[in-house]
Amino acid sequence: MRKTNQLNQTPASDFLLVGFSERPEDQLLLFGTFLGMYLITMAGNLLIFLAICADPHLHTPMYFFLANLSLTDACFSSASVPRMLVNIHTQSQTISYPGCLTQLYFLLLFGGLDNCLLAVMAYDRFVAICRPLHYSVALSPQLCILLLGMCWLLTNCPALVHTLLLTCVTFCAPTIIPHFYCDPSALLKLACSDTHINELMIIIMGLMFLTLPLMLIVFSYARIFWAVFGISSPGGRWKAFSTCGSHLTVVLLFYGSLMGVYLLPPSAHSTEKESRASILYMVIIPMLNPFIYSLRNKNMKDALGKLFSSGKTFSLP
């Protein structure tokens, strides 16, 4: 048996991404739909980023992290959607071995960064509501930059290590991935060599990218709810809740879709369900975030209005 497995081991040169319909009549609709969503994602998130950079009134911790979240969402979507559009347009489902690993690295990096930034933004709301008098000290500009740097470090290192470990894995033919992107779990299912270290790395990344940020978010909101319900005035409660409503909406959408992909029991998994959940958190949520954060935010509306009405140059906050 071992000899047979060794004969079936082939160096991977290409992978097939089969996450969507192969019917020719569906390709134009798929291409137009995802191209439209990608353009809206890029335009919306970059406008949020530029509006915050251009308006000195928004140079606060909350908007500093929102600007970085918008930039991260744009990069996260760009890690998978352009490749998908090329495959649909050329009617080719292949992605090269280096291309697959490169895409995987950036998906892990920006996906993990999204999680960390959402956790830091929850901490920002906790300090603003529960410790308002200490806000400027607890979230000084230096600390905000330090937190952002820690987010980059904590996501880049595991993503890079996991990608490098995958270069040591031998894959069996046929190398077919039932997704529109290079999913790490799907890749390991194609392996012929030992993958215990890789599977351990996935667990570690799950703890760092999902569990720990989610625990910080839950803790922050538990303290926020406790503090808000202690406010006697209904108007005061609503004002406090309104400052974190957009962030809480994004958290519920993002983590809900992630759990739909990675935390369901194996018996509940199907390729179709996983693909839909992946589209939700990799394509749709990055597209919706600019609308969620700007539609009910007067400061963002004013900043976007100034951005459209002036031709000034932009500088980072």
Domain locations in the chain? 15-297
Q: How far is CA 87 from the centre of its chain?
A: 22
Place 1 in a pLDDT band, splitting at 50, 70 and 90: very low
Give the CA distances from residue 193 to residues 34, 99, 124, 203, in Å, rounded to whole numbers and listed in that order.
Answer: 36, 21, 45, 19
How far is the C-alpha of 122 from the C-alpha of 142, rounded, in Å? 18
- The average pLDDT across 39-43 equals 96
* pLDDT, mean over the chain: 84
Q: Is the pLDDT of residue 151 over 50?
A: yes
Looking from the CA of 155 toward its CB, the CA atoms found within 13 Å total 25
Q: Which two tokens stand for residue 132?
A: 């308002």
pLDDT (tens digit per residue) in 51-109: 999 999 899 999 999 999 999 999 999 999 999 999 888 888 889 989 999 999 999 99
Q: With 50 as the cut, is the pLDDT of residue 17 above it?
A: yes
Residue 303 has pLDDT above 60, yes or no: yes
| Residue 132: cis peptide before it, omega within 30 degrees of 0 | no
Angle between helices 212-228 and 245-262 (to 10 degrees): 140
Q: For residue 27, give Cα distances in angstroms to 19, 41, 93, 154.
A: 13, 21, 12, 38
What is the architecture of the domain spanning 15-297? Up-down Bundle (1.20)
- Give the three-class secondary structure for 176: strand
